[in-house]
Amino acid sequence: MKPAKADSDFFDRVWDVVERIPHGKVTTYGHIAEHLGVKSAARTVGWALNAAAESGLPCHRVVNRFGALSGQVHFGGPHIMEDLLRSEGVQFGDDGCVRMDLHLWIPGSPEED
């Protein structure tokens, strides 16, 4: 379920992309911004996700470009985001980052389900 009130059309478009991220996959703030035609708007994607914190959208599937869980502070505890991803079978490297080679989903790519 999307948030009741969008702050902007851009936020709505971000939420539409986040809604499509497959179970067990992650994407990045930058990939979402680039898909929406505003490559420099990765930070705004983060604001859209913050606005959707309690919406039920799979915002936990959005990580930074290195696979780090930079948005984990918005999930009610330091390990909730990681726990949600692990419950979907997402693997992490020794550095604590998502294994992007295994789990990266790029919106708009030919492989998109």
Number of Cβ within 10 Å of residue 94's Cβ equals 5
79 within 8 A of 85, measured Cβ to Cβ: no
Catalytic pick among 59, 69, 85, 98 = 59
Q: Is 59 a catalytic residue?
A: yes
> Rounded to an integer, what distance in angstroms lies between the CA atom of residue 88 and that of residue 61?
10
Which positions are annotated as active-site residues?
59
